[in-house]
Structure 1
Amino acid sequence: MDFGPLGNQEDELDDMDLTAHLEQAMHSYKPGRDSNDGTQSFYLGDLGGASQYQQPPYAGGAPDHQPSQHLDGEGPQGVHPQDQQRSATQQQQQQQQQQLQQPPDFTYNQLVLPPSYEESVMYEPAPVHHEHQQQQQQQQLPGTNLATPPPYHLPQPNYTAAAATIPTAVPTQQPSPSDALLPPPSMATFLSHCAHVHAPLVISVSEPVKREQAGMFGFKGGYVSYLVTTRALADTPGFTSGSQSAVRRRFNDFVALASALKVRLRGYFLPPRPHKSAVEGQLMADSFIEERRSGLERYLQRLAMHEAAVKSEEFQLFLKAEGDLEANPAWTALRPIPSAGIVDGTAKLSKQLLGWERSVIDPVQATQPTKRSSDILRAMREASQAMHQQQAGVGGLPEGEAELRRAREKLEVSRDALMHASRAAEKLVQRMDRCGAVYGDLGLALFKMSKAEEVEGLHLAHFTGTVKQSHTLSKGCRQAGTSSVRVSRIVHKAVSKAACELGVLHEQLANMPPAIKGLTTREEQLLTATTLQADMDSRNNSIREIEASNAKVLGGAVDQKQARRLEELRNDVSKLEYSLAAASAEYERIAAVNQQELVRLQAEQKEDMLRMAHAFTTTQVMRAERDAEVWLSLAGELGATPEALGSIRETILASHALQQPQQS
């Protein structure tokens, strides 16, 4: 890694965005002797001592007083009689300032990256204009001995649900000038921008619109509808390549979609949908609407990535059906039948116990999960069978069942580990953010110290004969403050990228409950099949007992009551055989789905974790290298010898050389 000249010029330009913030901070210092109104102007155009860039316009409109063009704080109204002896020094500083304020030969957007950091994620893209391309090839960066390298264009990030290749480096963000010293966005915000996907459909949720509807007791209710736009990148079931659709959906439609997919795709690890709001008063808040819109968009994008979900008829109809989804006949036919409530379940249980209704489940019910509220007797039998199996041990499991149960236990352990890792990631991001804020505060404090030294120090140094030392101290504080602000800016960029990269932990944690639920579904289906087998064995035993008792009767006479009971048992056994076959087939299907989903989940987890570790490490390494550049530049400005700086660079290069064999 060639550190070479340290690229101060781009750092100078990055700091220009902070001018408004720093000027406002400077105005808080009021020595009481600089100007008539007691305030102190401050100009940041030459921070660092070697800048050749024009000061940008004053942010936020014209202030009460214009910033002074003099570094020592002496404006036309700030000169005192006792300071007239410093006129020669002031004139010299004014001449230097006029030279520094000459327009640059090229602007910030035309800068190119230093050769040793052309792949650094800490740099912003540097587009080259044709009229300056030839000039840039011959232009040397001011203050360096290296010629400008050929332009290098960083790949622009694509945050749409995505159809492009996965970038190997972290997407570079373009911070606005007002975000220079502000904390980075929350980690939840970055989750929607950092998902790398390979979906055949590009889905976006936008344009939330508030609507009113009639409520209960004459009160008006309301809801928010979202525009769901879909564009097909390739031929997929229900869509042709290049086709587009745009429909309006409300949150209840998303809930209905999740319920329908849950019934249709049993055993699959489906992504979780956004939860409902616990506080109804937040439903119409703009911040809540935007957060829900982002969550719904991520939910649809993840469904589009799922191979089974994207092919389902429910998902395709949700994206294409125009108008009100609840009034669509095709959608109504696909929706699962709502289960009966606890009242109907209690009435059904009473009829089954009294013998007025048969308790044998049919083959269709055998393939469905147990509804504890509407089929209480079935739930009681399966609970009893589970307790019996637990007491008898886990022997007699089908082939591969024990391995799948161990996989579920491993997922539960992974869920707990991801929960701790997610909390640790949040603390790490907060700590890094505080570190950047401390660097920013240190820079502002050094600027104020430099300002105080310029105003008060030079005035007192006139009597002590230490004018040169005071000027050196003021300049050193200003240079150190500039370096601290640069480091603060670098740290804030690194924090934003770290929040994006570590967001993978939150995504993986959110995927754990659906995965565990999918494995639990298989176990519940096996319990249903085992309960049906036990029920059928019990009825077969009853049939054999009745037949044995009838065989002992002299003359072969059969009691009509026992004959009717025997006929009912045989009908139940015949029905149970079909139900058991259906339940066993459903179990085998879910088991095969679980195995496929486990392979997919493990592959995605491995890929995401490796990508997260690589991106996070790359960002931190680049941040450390940029920090080293800034501090080495400061050391050179404060008088460090080239031999000492060269020794430090050689040490850093040697450490990189030792790390490269380990990485390979």
Structure 2
Amino acid sequence: MDPLFGGDSSNVRHGSFSNPTGPPPPYESVITDSASHSIMQAAPEHQAAAPGSGMQAGAAAANGSSSAGGGPAYSSDFEIVVADPVKQGEGVSAYVSYKVRTTTRLPQYNRPSCEVIRRFRDFVHLEGQLAEKHKGVILPPLPEKNAVQKFQMSQEFIEDRRRALQVFLNRVAAHPVLAKSASLQLFLEATEDTWAVEMARGQAAAAGAAAGGGPKKRLEDAVGWIKGLGAAATNIVGSSSRATDTAEDPEYIKVRDYLVALESHLSEAHRQAARLTAKEVELGEATLEFGQALERLGRLEEGNVSEAFSQMSSRSAELVAARRKGCEALAARFEAPLKEAVRSVRAVTAVCTDRALALATHMAAKHEVDAKKVRWAKLRGTPGSPQDKLTEAEREVSEAEERLRSSKIAYEELVATMTEELNRWQKERAADMAALLRDFALAQASMASEGVRAWSGLLAELQAVQGAAPAVAAAPATAT
């Protein structure tokens, strides 16, 4: 039985996601209320986000966001800050190192606070370790690799990445499973020398896998084996999305389509958010240039007129400074979280891919058992079949059945984990979106308030200047 949907897993096949044709379906439309199997059932109490604390507030403040209003979840057991980015080297070999400062209450850590130096590839290694050891878990997303930006090493790029890495670590530390991971503990507290040994060990394992051994090679062999099983296996790996969707559970298809539509529309929202931020920056620069033009114009005037232009130029400069801060807040608390939301959806679809591969492996194992049983039956039904061949065929059937049992257990465990993870992820995403909209409204209100304050102050000053202007003498009467 499929633990996620209550159906026979051998009858479920996965196809590719369909393209969205309209707005994403309502959140409620992907919630199933089945009493036995629900994709989005209420989360267990132990998975709820820990309440805020001083440590939690500290991490949130360092990240430029607040968990109190439903923003990114932070653990009450951790405070993790990624700080002090330093560029190392030049050219294509250049990289940025970061100080990772951790304070924790967890007893398994060797000390309550520590500071280590890590670079981006170390974060990537941690993500890989977590993905390998926790199948079915939706990992918090890392920022994307960007070769062009990495080569340029702009301050904006470095700061954006620093902030994203800090969010990544705090989300991992807030996860009910990942927070207890030995991989996370090693990353947070291992000295640079110890961590270098860990990285070397990982690189050696990857090299061994590429040379023909290890899990990667076994996975490649399994995929090649599946592809050679004929028409049945071809359907398993999803050569026709329409055929696989008709065999898939309808509730799972809803979730898949929801995720695809969600990623598409979140990507568009992020694109428009970046465009909005750029327009705000452009408006600020135009205001600055306007103020500079007024200042130059005022130099040609005298008295109250010159003073009026000077006051207007000064207020324009103040407004530009306030707008720059507002644009920084808009980028950090609206544009960047939207980008992270897109990466988060992709992390969920990666788990869906793992589930599809696990199911394909299980169904291929089932096909193998059937084939081995047919061969064994033919040998038994053939007079004079050698006993050694009969024994070998029976052994092959037994081994294939064991692989079938193992693949079924692995698949069911992954799906059970995935069910809880989808539920946790949806709750976290809903809180993030609420905080996102709140922060956007606050940023816009702040910029508007600064504008009103600046121009209102200017109006009062201009009125004072006008009131102090000397009266214009009346023209003498002309005799008629």
Q: Cα 1:424–1:231, aligned 2, differ >3 Å: closer, same or farther? A: same
Q: Structure 1 CA distance, aligned partners of 2:434 and 2:368?
A: 50
Task: Show CA shifts across 1:274-328 (max 9, x none).
Answer: 5567479949999987776555444333322222222112222232333523675
Are 1:506 and 2:330 counterparts? no
Shift of 1:481: 3.3
**Length, aligned pairs only:** 401
Matched position secondary structure for 1:197: coil
Q: Cα 1:478–1:211, aligned 2, differ >3 Å: closer, same or farther? A: closer
- The residue type equivalent to 1:436 in the other structure is G
* TM-score computed with the length of structure 1 as normaliser: 0.52
- The residue type equivalent to 2:113 in the other structure is Q
- Asked whether the equivalents of residues 130 and 183 of structure 2 are also in contact (C-alpha less than 8 Å), the reply is yes
Tell me the equivalent position of 2:234: 387
Shift of 1:597: 1.6
Shift of 1:243: 1.0
Shift of 1:412: 1.8
Q: Structure 1 CA distance, aligned partners of 2:88 and 2:459?
A: 62
Q: Structure 2 CA distance, aligned partners of 1:227 and 1:436?
A: 34
User: Which of 192, 199, 202 is equivalent to 2:79?
Assistant: 202
Q: Structure 2 CA distance, aligned partners of 1:505 and 1:281?
A: 21
Task: Show CA shifts across 1:374-401 (max 9, x none).
Answer: 5564242478544234569348968xx5
Q: Cα 1:248–1:498, aligned 2, differ >3 Å: closer, same or farther? A: closer
User: Which of 275, 281, 291 is equivalent to 1:427?
Assistant: 275
* TM-score computed with the length of structure 2 as normaliser: 0.69
Are 1:618 and 2:442 counterparts? yes
- Asked whether the equivalents of residues 528 and 583 of structure 1 are also in contact (C-alpha less than 8 Å), the reply is yes
Aligned pairs for 1:566-577 within 5 A: 566-577=390-401
Shift of 1:230: 2.1
- The residue type equivalent to 2:62 in the other structure is T
Tell me the equivalent position of 1:245: 114
Q: Cα 1:488–1:624, aligned 2, differ >3 Å: closer, same or farther? A: same
Q: Structure 1 CA distance, aligned partners of 2:177 and 2:72?
A: 20
Matched position secondary structure for 1:230: strand
Q: Cα 1:629–1:208, aligned 2, differ >3 Å: closer, same or farther? A: closer
User: Which of 160, 166, 172 is equivalent to 2:67?
Assistant: 166
- The residue type equivalent to 1:447 in the other structure is E
Aligned pairs for 1:592-607 within 5 A: 592-607=416-431
Are 1:256 and 2:106 counterparts? no
Structure of greater Rg: 1
- Asked whether the equivalents of residues 432 and 495 of structure 1 are also in contact (C-alpha less than 8 Å), the reply is yes
Tell me the equivalent position of 1:137: none
Q: Cα 1:585–1:505, aligned 2, differ >3 Å: closer, same or farther? A: same
Tell me the equivalent position of 2:410: 586
Q: Cα 1:384–1:513, aligned 2, differ >3 Å: closer, same or farther? A: farther
Bigger relative CO (Cα 8 Å, ≥ 6 apart): 2
Q: Cα 1:447–1:403, aligned 2, differ >3 Å: closer, same or farther? A: same
Are 1:407 and 2:233 counterparts? no
- Asked whether the equivalents of residues 382 and 527 of structure 1 are also in contact (C-alpha less than 8 Å), the reply is no
Tell me the equivalent position of 1:267: 136
Shift of 1:199: 5.3
Identity of aligned residues (%): 25
Tell me the equivalent position of 2:12: none
- Asked whether the equivalents of residues 98 and 118 of structure 2 are also in contact (C-alpha less than 8 Å), the reply is yes
The structure richer in helix per residue is 2
Aligned pairs for 1:93-172 within 5 A: 159-160=61-62, 166=67, 168=69
- The residue type equivalent to 1:393 in the other structure is A
- The residue type equivalent to 1:422 in the other structure is H
Tell me the equivalent position of 2:377: 544
- Asked whether the equivalents of residues 543 and 569 of structure 1 are also in contact (C-alpha less than 8 Å), the reply is yes
- The residue type equivalent to 1:380 in the other structure is K
Q: Structure 2 CA distance, aligned partners of 1:161 and 1:496?
A: 13
- The residue type equivalent to 1:312 in the other structure is S
Tell me the equivalent position of 1:559: 385
Q: Cα 1:284–1:609, aligned 2, differ >3 Å: closer, same or farther? A: closer
Tell me the equivalent position of 2:54: none
Task: Show CA shifts across 1:201-228 (max 9, x none).
Answer: 223345678889xxxxxxxx99876544
- Asked whether the equivalents of residues 187 and 195 of structure 2 are also in contact (C-alpha less than 8 Å), the reply is no
Task: Show CA shifts across 1:385-442 (max 9, x none).
Answer: 44234569348968xx542343122212211111111111111011111112222222
- Asked whether the equivalents of residues 60 and 67 of structure 2 are also in contact (C-alpha less than 8 Å), the reply is no
Q: Structure 2 CA distance, aligned partners of 1:538 and 1:323?
A: 53
Q: Cα 1:328–1:487, aligned 2, differ >3 Å: closer, same or farther? A: closer
Q: Cα 1:197–1:443, aligned 2, differ >3 Å: closer, same or farther? A: same
Q: Structure 2 CA distance, aligned partners of 1:520 and 1:299?
A: 22
Q: Cα 1:325–1:335, aligned 2, differ >3 Å: closer, same or farther? A: farther
- The residue type equivalent to 1:612 in the other structure is L
In the alignment, structure 2 segments of 5+ residues that lack a partner are 1-56, 465-480
